[in-house]
A = this chain, B = another copy of it.
Amino acid sequence: MKGFFTGFDLGGTKMYCLLVREDGRIVERLRAKTQAGGSATRLVDGMVASIDELLARASLDRSQLSAVGIGAPGAVDFENGIVLNMPNLGLTDLPLKKLLQQRLKLPVLVENDVNAGTWAEFAGGAAKGCRHVVGIFPGTGIGGGLILDGRLYRGAGGGAGEIGHTIVQLDGRECACGQHDQVLGEYGCLEALASRTAIAKDLVVLAATGRAPSVLEDAGTDYTKVKSGVIARAVKSGNADVIRLVARAARFLGVGMANCVNIFNPELIVIGGGLVEKLGETYLREAEKSMRAHALSGLVRKVKVVQSVFGDDAVALGASLLAAESKA
């Protein structure tokens, strides 16, 4: 019997994979390191090994697998299944769909990770029953996913939803995208103000100056080591400076959410990703309060703000559901 799917949340340093039944139930979960070192073959080897491991755990074999879905970070050429940029892996224009299809002889779908995560929430999670949904996933960056009129909206080239790279403060901070300072010397991406990375850059200054002992203990003064759990521990310790920095990032996030309200007139905004997973309700409500202060009252009145139901599973689950749907 066929009827199983695998879904990947493919990150630059690790991958998270699920084995999913036709009815959407998760059967097995697996975490593995993403290893490539500039070689697409090595990356695909690792993904295939993860699939085989998942199948073995469930006493299944490849003949029972129907399709594979992959959620990948950043820009994806959806039509052709190409991941445009994975700087951590030393790979650009990676034809992941073609490579995996050749190896597995199965349908493969490649989607932007937050598109996939938002789809999961829409299909059976926090946004079930809605037709107009914006998904925002703050983490290393801030990704966005758009469900418009009940359909995943990808734009002309599959690149829609880059909410993290909208400008909310022209004289804000430099962003990793590097796109916003070439002519006018201006920055101001939402992501540079509200992502985990933005918080981390400020926290290490506190750590270095003796004002955030738990951060110093957990991560030293290297901002790339300040994961969401490190931030959460510093917040829980009651450090007022840390709490203030996190609240500021949440308020900036709320501005980005407000812009989405005014542009899309959605029913619901679902916040996912690592930051909200670890910081929870207080963080979410601070962002919501800011959203309500910054959006048109006629549009924001009916908007609900909720946390992802699927948490760490969202992206990989959504990718597998999209693969199942496109196969059908």
Q: B153 near A183 (CB under 8 angstroms)?
A: no
Nearest-Cβ distance from residue A74 to partner chain B, whole angstroms: 9
Give A137-181 as 1s and 0s: 1 = Cβ < 8 Å from B's Cβ atoms.
000000010101101011111111111011111110000010110
Give A291-319 as 1s and 0s: 1 = Cβ < 8 Å from B's Cβ atoms.
01111111100100000000000000000
Question: How many of A's residues come within 8 Å of B, CB to CB?
Answer: 56
Choose from B148, B162, B183, B258 the contact partner of A289 (Cβ within 8 Å).
B183
Complex CA distance for A160 and B298, rounded to whole angstroms: 11
Nearest-Cβ distance from residue A289 to partner chain B, whole angstroms: 7
**Does A97 make an interface contact (CB < 8 A)?**
no
- A298 proximity list for chain B (CB < 8 A): 75, 84, 159
**With contacts A168-B168, A293-B182 known, is A155 near B259, CB below 8 A?**
no
Complex CA distance for A151 and B150, rounded to whole angstroms: 13
Question: Copy number of this protein in the oligomer?
Answer: 2
**Does A184 make an interface contact (CB < 8 A)?**
yes
Q: Which of A75, A146, A151, A259 has the most CB of B within 10 A?
A: A259
- A165 proximity list for chain B (CB < 8 A): 262, 295-296
Q: Which of A131, A153, A156, A302 has the most CB of B within 10 A?
A: A156
Complex CA distance for A265 and B161, rounded to whole angstroms: 8
**Does A267 make an interface contact (CB < 8 A)?**
yes
**Does A251 make an interface contact (CB < 8 A)?**
yes
Choose from B155, B180, B258, B295 the contact partner of A264 (Cβ within 8 Å).
B155
In A166-205, the 8 Å CB interface with B consists of 166-171, 177, 179-180, 182-184, 186, 188
**Does A228 make an interface contact (CB < 8 A)?**
no
**Does A290 make an interface contact (CB < 8 A)?**
yes
Q: A156-B267, A159-B299 are in contact. List 4 more A-B contacts (CB 8 A).
A: A162-B265, A167-B255, A179-B295, A259-B259
